[in-house]
Amino acid sequence: MHLLVVEGNKRETWTKREASGGVPYHKRFLAMLKILCPEAKVDVAFPADEDALLPLLKTIMKYDGVLWTGSSLYVNDPSPSVAGQLTFAEDVFKSGVPFYGSCWGLQIAAVVAGGTVGTCEKGREFGVTSPISLTKDGANYDGFKGRSGKFNALCIHLDEVTQLPENTTILASNAHSRVQALKINYKNSEFFGVQYHPEFMFSDLVFIARYMSKTLIKEGVFDNEKAVESFISKLEKPSELPECVSNYLIHTQEVKCWLDYCVKR
């Protein structure tokens, strides 16, 4: 299997975070795929960088699947870093290759297919999601074969899909966001994406909580630094958290199911 991972952040953003102790999103995806699909060959593309050498359409068509990471960018920002990703996503849809995205990846796909994205009415969702429920369509979708009933996931997002593109099916929702997962049929490809981060480990949230603590407090996610540290302490006791987030193989199962049932062979 030959896969392409697309990094959603600019080089200067992910290298700065890496220097501070964080794992860049594309490297988290690479580590996840090493666990879920160790035999796969995986390449990485960086369309947020203006000087990036990106695979052309004929090259994208040779991949078995494309996976798009999260990002600290905002899809409505008219910057070259966003525009370059929208253009590249259009090519992915044209390629006919199965397409997956976490968080930012979902938002990019939705906008390219004709939908809209805006700030969450309920503010930022961060940490462990409130319970997520599959829709009837979601319960029958191959990407959710391992899910039954409500579940939680690790997350961080300030934006959400506010208007669906045509040929879109909502697969999961929760009290915070109506769109927690969807399927989009656009051009020649089918996209499957989730608003949360199946690829995340607890260490990613610990890093983000400390790295963004001032922003998270300003937004009201936490009351103060003490609350941030209390949140981190809970993450360091996984046995006290739901198995759907503490067991990495369960937390990543949407990606595993997508690889097993939706990716072309």
87 vs 45: CA distance, rounded Å: 13
Average pLDDT value for the chain = 96
pLDDT at 112: 98
pLDDT one-digit tens code per residue, 65-97: 999 999 999 999 999 999 999 999 999 999 999
The residue among 247, 202, 209 whose CA lies nearest residue 225 is 209
Residue located via tokens 């930012």: 104
Residue 264's pLDDT band (boundaries 50, 70, 90)? Answer: low
Q: Which of 252, 195, 245 is nearest to 37 (CA)?
A: 252
Is 90 exceeded by the pLDDT of residue 154?
Answer: yes
242 exposure class (CB count in 10 Å sphere: 0-12, 13-18, 19+): middle
| 144/196 Cα distance (integer angstroms) | 14
pLDDT at 265: 55
Averaged pLDDT, 234-238: 87
What percent of the chain clears pLDDT 70, i.e. is strictly above it?
A: 99
* pTM for the full predicted model: 0.95
State yes or no: pLDDT of 193 exceeds 90.
Answer: yes
Split at pLDDT 50, 70, 90, the class of 149 is: confident
What domains, with CATH codes, occur in the chain?
A: 2-262 (3.40.50.880)
Instruction: Tell me the mean pLDDT in the region 213-228.
Output: 96
Q: What is the pLDDT of residue 237?
A: 84
CB atoms inside a 10 Å sphere around CB 32: 22
The predicted pLDDT at position 148 comes to 83
In angstroms, how far is the first alpha carbon of the chain from the final one? 7
Model confidence band, residue 201 (pLDDT cutoffs 50, 70, 90) = very high
Average pLDDT over residues 130-137: 97
Residue 7 has pLDDT above 70, yes or no: yes
pLDDT on residue 182: 98
